[in-house]
A and B are shown apart, each in its own frame.
Chain A
Amino acid sequence: MRIVVNGESVETVDNAVVIQVLEQQQTGRNVAVWVNERRLLQKEYPTFLLHEGDHLRVLKPLGGG
Chain B
Amino acid sequence: MSVFPDAKILDVNLTEGTITTRTLPGDIYRLYPGGSTLGLYLALQEMEPNIDPLAPENMLIFSVSVLTGLPISGQSRLVITTKSPLTGTIGDSQSGGFFPAHLKINGYDAVVFRGKAVKPVYLYIDGDDVSLRDAAGAWGKVTGEAEKVIKDELQDENIEIAQIGPAGENLVKYASVMNMSNRANGRNGTGAVMGSKLLKAVVVKKGKARKAADQESFRKLTGNVRDRIKENEGIEALGLFGTDGELNATNRDGFLATRNFKSGHFFEKAKKITGTTMAKTILKERDTCFACAIRCKRVVEVEGKVDPFYGGPEYETCATFGSYCGNDSLEDIAIANQYCNMYGVDTISCGATIAFAMECFEKGLLTTKDTDGMILKFGDGSVFKELIEKISLRQGFGDMMAEGSYRMAEKLGPEAIPLSISVKKQELPAHMPQYKPAVGLMYAVNNFGADHQSCEHDPFLTMPPDAKEQVWLGMLGINLLYDDQFSLDENKVRFATAGQRFYSMMDTLCLCQFAWGPAWQLYGPADLVEACSAGIGWDTSIQELMEIGERRINMMRWFNVKAGFTSADDQLPDRIFEPLPEGPSEGHQMSREDFEKARSTYYEQMGWDQQGCPKETTLQRLSLGWLLEK
Tell me the A residues contacting B by CB distance below 8 Å. 28-30, 32-34, 39-43, 59-65
- Could you tell me the dominant secondary structure of chain A's interface residues? loop
Interface stretch, picked from B56-64, B79-87, B452-460, B604-612, is: B452-460
Number of A-B contacts (CB under 8 A): 68
Contact B457 A43 (CB under 8 A): no
How far, in angstroms, from A65 to B368 measured CA to CA in the complex? 36
User: Which A-chain residue is minimally distant from B243 (CB atoms)?
Assistant: A65
User: Which B-chain residue is minimally distant from A33 (CB atoms)?
Assistant: B464
- Could you tell me the dominant secondary structure of chain B's interface residues? loop
Collect the chain A residues with CB atoms within 8 Å of residue B316's CB.
65
Query: B137 an interface residue at 8 Å Cβ cutoff?
Result: no
Q: How far is the CB of A17 from chain B (nearest CB, A)?
A: 16
Contact B460 A40 (CB under 8 A): no
Query: B233 an interface residue at 8 Å Cβ cutoff?
Result: yes
A43, A62, A64: residue with the most chain B Cβ atoms closer than 10 Å? A64
User: Which B-chain residue is minimally distant from A63 (CB atoms)?
Assistant: B457
Query: B586 an interface residue at 8 Å Cβ cutoff?
Result: no
Contact A39 B246 (CB under 8 A): no
Collect the chain B residues with CB atoms within 8 Å of residue A62's CB.
246, 249-250, 253, 457, 459
Out of A39, A40, A59, name the residue touching B459 (CB < 8 Å).
A59
Interface residue tally on B, bucketed by range: 35 or more
Interface membership of chain B positions 4-26, coded 1 if the CB is closer than 8 angstroms to chain A and 0 otherwise: 00000000000000000000000
Contact A61 B463 (CB under 8 A): yes
Contact A42 B467 (CB under 8 A): yes
Other A-B pairs beyond A59-B459, A61-B460, A63-B234, 9, CB < 8 Å = A28-B237, A32-B463, A40-B464, A41-B466, A62-B253, A62-B459, A63-B460, A64-B452, A65-B514
Known contacts A65-B314, A65-B514: A59-B484 contact under CB 8 Å? yes
How far, in angstroms, from A29 to B237 measured CA to CA in the complex? 13
Collect the chain B residues with CB atoms within 8 Å of residue A42's CB.
463-464, 466-467
Interface membership of chain B positions 452-491, coded 1 if the CB is closer than 8 angstroms to chain A and 0 otherwise: 1100110110111111010000000000010111000000
How far, in angstroms, from A4 to B18 measured CA to CA in the complex? 71
How far, in angstroms, from A41 to B470 measured CA to CA in the complex? 11
How far, in angstroms, from A41 to B464 measured CA to CA in the complex? 5
How far, in angstroms, from A28 to B315 measured CA to CA in the complex? 20
Collect the chain A residues with CB atoms within 8 Å of residue B253's CB.
62
Interface membership of chain B positions 189-202, coded 1 if the CB is closer than 8 angstroms to chain A and 0 otherwise: 00000000000000
How far, in angstroms, from A6 to B453 measured CA to CA in the complex? 29
How far, in angstroms, from A34 to B481 measured CA to CA in the complex? 13
Contact B520 A61 (CB under 8 A): yes
Closest 5 CB pairs of A and B: A61-B459, A65-B243, A30-B233, A28-B233, A32-B462
